[in-house]
Homo-oligomer: A and B are copies of this chain.
Amino acid sequence: MIKKITTAAYLLATSVMADQLADQAKAAGLAPIPKATAALYKMVDNPDNSMNAEKVELGKKLFFDPRLSKSALISCNTCHNLATGGVDGVPAATGHMWRHNPHHLNSPTVYNAVFASRQFWDGRDPDLEAQAQGPMQAPPEMAAKPEHVAAVVNSIPGYVRAFRHAYSNPEMKPTFKDVADVIAVFERTLVTPSRFDEYLGGCDKALGKEEKAGLKTFIEKGCTSCHTGVAVGGGMQPFPLMGKFKYADVGDFKGDANGLVKVPTLRNIDETAPYFHNGTVWSLKEAIKIMGETQLGIKLSDKETASIETFLKSLNGEKPAVDYPQLPARTDATPLPDLN
């Protein structure tokens, strides 16, 4: 009997502690990916580019279609590979003619990008619709003129039909902007709920003891001052790493007009090496230590670092199932690839 009471008391105490930690996490601004479909839909949908199933499917096809690029060899998925955490796994984005990003910028993950407050490392675009127009045109990425993208899509009857269906507009001639818009709609579906979300949603068992300890360290050391919200990141912050350390030798990126840099999401961070805007660090532990030193002015011990890493791995989320598409065939009217 005494045993039973003790166990019950222990469980109660643990539960209170758990609630306290979850409350502490929420107070620090961490927020879950909603479980309820309606709430999630409301969070990811853009009223100016509203979602429907046909747009998602069409956007998926265009996301995977290398024929939108100048060479016909590079698709959105080349740098934001859905098989590998939504990234390319190389330090700097590499595209048309094997050119690298001129500022040596690392490709951010497309998973959960919808939760970021701004897009691109310098936050220059407000949403995915605007963002999607960038890499299609960038000379070291897909290197396509907007007219090229529109010409490719309009030369393929399967695409024109799909746009007309998705937009309920039998006269539609899809533009470059329309292509970016449906790609953005698809990208808005690329969210990856994890055990951490279940935990924040009230399921105490969703995280293990070590993961909870890591979460506590993560909060108490101040990581949540930048890595917060649903994205566990996604806002704009000063980044003193630039101009310091060896990493300053790589690239000339200086952030936005105020020197602010987009905070990467930490969701699936275990799958998205290399780290930082210039992709110079491959070890997650090393990245955590550098962040402590440069952003928080503290030296994290090996134990604290390992504990934070343990928590971060609980942010590895479930990826949406994606049927690899069959793309509608080109026609004699489709512009030929230009590999130069």
Binding site for B on A (CB under 8 A): 64-67, 71-73, 78, 81-85, 88-90, 94, 97-98, 100, 270-271, 273, 282-283, 319, 321-327, 329-330, 332, 336-337, 339
Instruction: Report whether B82 and A324 are in contact in the complex, using a CB–CB cutoff of 8 Å.
Output: yes
Query: Could you pull out 20 A-B pairs where Cβ atoms are within 8 angstroms?
Result: A66-B84, A66-B89, A67-B89, A71-B90, A72-B88, A72-B90, A73-B90, A73-B94, A83-B325, A84-B329, A89-B330, A90-B337, A94-B339, A100-B339, A271-B329, A273-B330, A283-B332, A322-B323, A323-B323, A323-B324
Contacts of A85 in B (CB 8 A): 329
Instruction: Report whether B324 and A324 are in contact in the complex, using a CB–CB cutoff of 8 Å.
Output: yes
Contacts of A94 in B (CB 8 A): 71, 73, 339
Contacts of A271 in B (CB 8 A): 329
**Cβ 8 A contact of A337, one of B65, B78, B89, B97:** B89
Instruction: Report whether A323 and B325 are in contact in the complex, using a CB–CB cutoff of 8 Å.
Output: no
Contacts of A67 in B (CB 8 A): 84, 89
How distant is A191 from chain B, measured CB to nearest CB, in Å? 15
Give me the 3 closest cross-chain CB pairs, A-B, nearest first.
Answer: A98-B98, A322-B324, A324-B324
Q: Is the interface of A mostly helix, strand, loop or mixed?
A: loop
Contacts of A329 in B (CB 8 A): 84-85, 270-271
Instruction: Report whether B73 and A282 are in contact in the complex, using a CB–CB cutoff of 8 Å.
Output: no
Assembled-state Cα–Cα distance A323/B97 (Å): 30
Assembled-state Cα–Cα distance A336/B280 (Å): 11
Taking A94-B339, A98-B97, A337-B89 as contacts, is the C-beta distance between A327 and B84 under 8 angstroms?
yes
**Cβ 8 A contact of A339, one of B78, B90, B283:** B90
How distant is A7 from chain B, measured CB to nearest CB, in Å? 37
Assembled-state Cα–Cα distance A64/B83 (Å): 8
Contacts of A337 in B (CB 8 A): 89-90
How distant is A37 from chain B, measured CB to nearest CB, in Å? 22
**What residue of chain B has the Cβ atom nearest to residue A78's Cβ?**
B73
**What residue of chain B has the Cβ atom nearest to residue A99's Cβ?**
B98
Assembled-state Cα–Cα distance A271/B84 (Å): 28
How distant is A155 from chain B, measured CB to nearest CB, in Å? 12
How distant is A267 from chain B, measured CB to nearest CB, in Å? 14
Assembled-state Cα–Cα distance A337/B90 (Å): 7
**What residue of chain B has the Cβ atom nearest to residue A96's Cβ?**
B98
Contacts of A78 in B (CB 8 A): 73
Instruction: Report whether A324 and B83 are in contact in the complex, using a CB–CB cutoff of 8 Å.
Output: yes
Contacts of A73 in B (CB 8 A): 78, 88, 90, 94
**What residue of chain B has the Cβ atom nearest to residue A64's Cβ?**
B83
Contacts of A322 in B (CB 8 A): 323-324
How distant is A150 from chain B, measured CB to nearest CB, in Å? 19
Contacts of A90 in B (CB 8 A): 71-73, 337, 339
How distant is A86 from chain B, measured CB to nearest CB, in Å? 11
How distant is A183 from chain B, measured CB to nearest CB, in Å? 15
**Additional 9 contacts, C-beta under 8 A, given A64-B83, A72-B89, A83-B324:** A72-B90, A73-B88, A82-B324, A83-B325, A84-B329, A90-B339, A283-B332, A319-B326, A324-B324
